[in-house]
Structure 1
Amino acid sequence: MLKLDRQWREFSLPYRSLSSVFPFFLAFDRQGKICSAGPSLVKFCSMLKLGSDFEKLFELVTPSIGFDFDRIMEQLFTTFFIRILDTEKLLRGQMLLRADDESELLLFLGAPVVREMSDITRWGLSLKDFAIHDSVIDLLLVLQAKNNTIRDIKRIHGLLEREVETRRKVERDLHELNEQLEQRVVERTLELKRSNQRLGQSLTLLEENNRELRVLNKMGEMLQGCASLEESLDVISYSLGRLLPHANGFLQLHADETIQPELSITWGGLSHQPVLQEIATDCQAIRTGEAVLYRSGGNLPCCHHLQGTPECDSVCIPLLANDSCFGRLSLQCFDRERNSDLGFQARLQLIYTAGEHISLALANLRLQENLRQQAVQDSLTGLYNRRYMNATLDREILRADREASTVGLVILDIDHFKRINDQHGHETGDRVLQCLGVFLKQRIRGDDVACRFGGEEFVLILPGVGLDDLVRRAESLCYEIAQGEFGVGVSELPALTVSMGVGLYPAHACAQDDLLICADAALYRAKSAGRNRVVCYRA
């Protein structure tokens, strides 16, 4: 409210806004007591105290009238000056009624009369004493350059409102930006969390793959150190049990000539006995020569050996060497640990890789065993060959020396074997040799060794036997062969007879070569005496 032209006029000038903008304000009551004052005015006039009399501190300069509340209310003051008593400092301002209680207080707003801005520092003031925020400084300079009119105050108020609105808009924008930033931080945090989870899963998968590779490499090293197929099967079952801890499986080998089971081993929850009795022709992998996958609930009919097993994924892998199948590897329930399709394919590829390693290792072992057998066995009769006979005879003689024992040696020769070849053919002669080899295997003891010496001659090594027992056993064999207790499937073939020479270490000789010479001399005497007999060496 402002009394202008002797009439009260209302302007939108809130008291709080003016007091915050103009720190040089002074409010007093009808008795002339100062009620409140701006902080800069208090700083400017150190004598000012609340409750002080206005007339003791200030005097009106324009117009030249004394302080009187009622007279002031009747005057038209748009701009006036007051002087701080005992100083030369002037204040310029306007008279306004306080909006909340116009009958008691009159608000004085103003500022020092500053001709030059340097005077501010001389009076101990700063720009902060003129305005609370920066935008009002320019307005204050306008007030100093012009008469303070209501239009100026309204203009200041409008600028302040726009300034406040601008600042509020900036604050709202900042708030929105903060919210957006917080949302982006939350989304980014969730994305980082998901990335960390994926990274953790990848790390776990990598560690599992490294473990599987270590097991595969260790299995390969162990298979290389195996000396027999039986030993290698134990290594395979142990390694696959570590590689696929939740899987059941078996591995089966069969002979080259047939597909009947030869060697077999199981692990996990499978029973060993049904696998040993399994007929391999039922397996699709063996018939096709390729790995066969049986998915649970699939349409492909399972092999016979999978019937009755729990409903789960299974795979059969043929073991191949030189394009021929010599066995199979079968695994069931191998995918329990990884339910995803990617995990299933990775596990399946691991099984295929293990099958290739196993197939190659077993093929090499089978080849090594065949080579060893060919090195010590006669391919026609299945008996040991002459090389193995020499090594065995040396070993048994050394043992006899340590244990003060004996070694018996029998050399036998088929009578008139050339006649059999000439009259019935070499094929019949080979069958005779084969049958005689089988016969000798069946008649010797576990410690005895039967060998083919060459052609139609055979050698029997009998450790720890006495001379009388040696002769008696040789005569029994000679008699059984002559009686025809074995045949070769040729009806026209006459009864076979053999001649035998017997020698004993150390009674007849003190070295391997000497013992062979003695037994061979006895054989020559048996042939000279009419064949089909046993002759013991005599010096």
Structure 2
Amino acid sequence: MTGALARILVVDDNDSGRYVTVHTLKRAGYLVSEARSGAEALSLLVNTRAGMEHVDGADQMDFERPDLIVLDINMPDMDGFEVCRRIKADVGSAQIPVLMASASYLTAENTAYGLDLGADAYLAHPIEPSVLIATLRALLRVRAAEAEVRQLNLTLERRVLERTGELQRLSEELQVQVRELEERNTEAKVLSEMSEMLQACFSFSEIEQVVALHVALLFPGVPGKLYSYGASKDGLEELVAWNGKSTSTSLFGPEECWGLRRGRLFASVEGELNCHHHQTTGSTLCVPMLAQGDTVGLLYLERETAFPQRQQRLAQTVADMVALAMVNLRLRETLRQQSIRDPLTGLFNRRYLEETFERELRRSERKGEAIGLIMLDVDRFKVFNDTHGHEAGDVLLKALGGVLRESVRAEDVACRYGGEEFTLLLPGANQQQTFDRAEQIREAIVRLKVTNQGKVLEGVSASLGVATFPQHGRELAVLVRAADLALYRAKREGRNRVVNAE
């Protein structure tokens, strides 16, 4: 890739989607080849001189091994996961970065599965051109850095062999080269381990620990910090520091850093232009962490003497790795929240209730504690919808979601069970405690003032049924049934009341 345009192989069975991706990459200056199926892509990678058509209609061209593969997941003959597995199993193609793309397959489980197979990043269809290009650049920078380290290792080894006969005269030079080779091998090992561990992180605190441990090894004795943008995106906050005290502040605005202003690595030395967020008298490196078109943070390093180009490139590689890991983690967390949350009310959904109950059941059995379950149904919700409209009905359900969130403890689980029906799981609550909590919720709903289009919609009430483990059952379905029957009794007895299961 150095001194030549990067070659990209696009694998997608969808003609229109593949055309958009190829067209975007060609406009960005990449050399692009394409495959219409996983089998065709694997054939091309095995037979590196096989011919294939240009997207623009040119007859044939010699196919060369790509620098990066853009791989669609959802393909009929062989899905992207199997293609990725085979690519990474092949010695000749295992080092090629794989960017997986999908619309329907982009779940938290599939994301983790693809990364375990060796994929380097995920993007969701439809792919924004700027995000695609930025992601490719980040992946290619990492690949280029790894290739550079491997090439340097090969170069040093060849020079050692060539000068074996001159050991006496070149002994001192050879010792220097051997030490450099050892340093590069150590760096390559640390980078590989860091990349693997970052992809396995499930929280930002884990990312912080991995970064602090490995960057301290890559830059021994060099103080540094990792920053990320706060929730407001108007300032950067220190996440973690390593190798002693740094002069950079723990909180600063992006306008105080030349690296963030320029959007690329900024190296300063004593007596020259410096950023405003540190007071060091030596040299510094400020490396913005960019991924998928977004600046997610900053890698900061400082030392007394200037950073050589090799260490600047190493710092850039680290920043790219961390940025990709942070973006992938945010994506996985977003997908997980989407899979367990009701989009209208923001409460948990039925799937999360079922998962949580099994966990709480085991805990309660160990401790000998009860579990309370409340089923809640809005009274005359259909009449409310018919009278005020479905938009007002949605407003009411959102307001009820707010009431439930304010009425539960940290360990409780409030769910939208379906339609206008809600469920609350109360670990450690006995029958009387659960009934009291249900009564508090009922009273809060009666006091609820729902406003829609400037009009206050009053007269909202709910009926609630209460059941507990183990008194009314040891399975979620049995408890829900018992609470449901109590809820129906509350409806029959006049609504707007709480009834215990029998």
Query: TM-score band, normalised by the shorter chain?
Result: 0.5 to 0.7
Matched, 1:268 2:268: no
Matched, 1:497 2:461: yes
**2:292 paired residue number:** 322
Cα shift at 1:499: 2.5
Cα shift at 1:192: 8.8
Cα shift at 1:237: 0.8
**1:224 paired residue number:** 199
Cα shift at 1:531: 3.3
Q: Deviations over 1:143-177 (max 9, x none)?
A: xxxxxxxxxxxxxxxxxxxxxxxxxxxxxxxxxxx
**1:290 paired residue number:** 264
Cα distance in 1 for residues equivalent to 2:486 and 2:247? 53
Matched, 1:305 2:277: yes
Please point out which of 468, 476, 497 is paired with 2:432: 468
What secondary structure sits across from 2:342 in the alignment? coil
**1:519 paired residue number:** 483
Cα distance in 2 for residues equivalent to 1:454 and 1:281? 48
Q: Deviations over 1:219-259 (max 9, x none)?
A: 12222332222112111111111111222222233478845
Q: Is the 8 A contact 1:526 1:534 kept in 2?
A: yes
Q: Is the 8 A contact 1:290 1:317 kept in 2?
A: yes
**1:114 paired residue number:** none
**1:113 paired residue number:** none
Q: Deviations over 1:93-148 (max 9, x none)?
A: xxxxxxxxxxxxxxxxxxxxxxxxxxxxxxxxxxxxxxxxxxxxxxxxxxxxxxxx
Change (3 A) 1:416 1:271: farther
Matched, 1:392 2:356: yes
Q: Is the 8 A contact 2:291 2:320 kept in 1?
A: no
What secondary structure sits across from 1:502 in the alignment? strand
Q: Is the 8 A contact 1:255 1:262 kept in 2?
A: yes
Change (3 A) 1:354 1:397: closer
Matched, 1:253 2:216: no
Cα distance in 2 for residues equivalent to 1:418 and 1:282? 57
Change (3 A) 1:447 1:314: same
Please point out which of 348, 368, 393 is paired with 1:404: 368
Change (3 A) 1:195 1:318: same
Which residue identity lines up with residue 358 of structure 2 in the other structure? D
Cα shift at 1:274: 5.1
Matched, 1:350 2:325: no
Cα distance in 2 for residues equivalent to 1:347 and 1:454? 57
Please point out which of 314, 325, 329 is paired with 1:365: 329
Please point out which of 164, 167, 173 is paired with 1:198: 173
Cα distance in 1 for residues equivalent to 2:428 and 2:487? 22
Change (3 A) 1:271 1:445: farther
Larger Rg: 1
Q: Deviations over 1:18-49 (max 9, x none)?
A: xxxxxxxxxxxxxxxxxxxxxxxxxxxxxxxx
Change (3 A) 1:520 1:235: same
**1:243 paired residue number:** 218
Which residue identity lines up with residue 482 of structure 1 in the other structure? V
TM-score, scaled to structure 2: 0.59
Cα distance in 2 for residues equivalent to 1:378 and 1:317? 39
Q: Is the 8 A contact 2:289 2:295 kept in 1?
A: yes
Q: Is the 8 A contact 1:291 1:315 kept in 2?
A: yes
Change (3 A) 1:317 1:474: same
Cα distance in 2 for residues equivalent to 1:232 and 1:461? 33
Cα shift at 1:202: 2.6
Matched, 1:215 2:190: yes
Change (3 A) 1:419 1:399: same
Which residue identity lines up with residue 207 of structure 1 in the other structure? E
Change (3 A) 1:534 1:287: farther
Which residue identity lines up with residue 348 of structure 1 in the other structure? Q
Cα shift at 1:426: 5.5
Matched, 1:375 2:332: no
Change (3 A) 1:413 1:294: farther
Q: Is the 8 A contact 1:526 1:533 kept in 2?
A: yes
Q: Is the 8 A contact 2:403 2:444 kept in 1?
A: no
Greater relative contact order, per chain length (Cα 8 Å cut-off, separation 6+): 2
Cα shift at 1:346: 0.7
Change (3 A) 1:241 1:463: same
Q: Deviations over 1:387-444 (max 9, x none)?
A: 1101222333344344433211012233455566666665665554444434423332
Cα shift at 1:535: 2.0
What secondary structure sits across from 1:240 in the alignment? helix
Q: Is the 8 A contact 1:265 1:272 kept in 2?
A: no
**2:441 paired residue number:** 477
Matched, 1:506 2:470: yes
Percent identical residues: 38
Cα distance in 2 for residues equivalent to 1:272 and 1:449? 45
Change (3 A) 1:258 1:385: farther
**2:89 paired residue number:** none
Aligned length: 336
Q: Is the 8 A contact 1:266 1:272 kept in 2?
A: no
Cα distance in 1 for residues equivalent to 2:399 and 2:330? 26
Cα distance in 2 for residues equivalent to 1:262 and 1:497? 46
Cα distance in 2 for residues equivalent to 1:203 and 1:251? 32
Cα shift at 1:198: 3.3
Cα distance in 2 for residues equivalent to 1:429 and 1:262? 41
What are the within-5 Å matches in structure 2 for residues 43-62 of structure 1?
A: none
Which residue identity lines up with residue 319 of structure 1 in the other structure? M
Structure 1: gaps (5+ residues): 1-190
What are the within-5 Å matches in structure 2 for residues 133-144 of structure 1?
A: none
What secondary structure sits across from 1:305 in the alignment? coil
Cα distance in 1 for residues equivalent to 2:260 and 2:347? 32
- Cα RMSD for the two superposed structures: 3.3
TM-score, scaled to structure 1: 0.55
Q: Is the 8 A contact 2:260 2:288 kept in 1?
A: yes
Cα distance in 2 for residues equivalent to 1:211 and 1:513? 56
Which residue identity lines up with residue 320 of structure 1 in the other structure? L
Cα shift at 1:386: 0.8
Cα distance in 1 for residues equivalent to 2:167 and 2:447? 93
**1:106 paired residue number:** none
Which residue identity lines up with residue 243 of structure 1 in the other structure? L
What secondary structure sits across from 2:466 in the alignment? strand
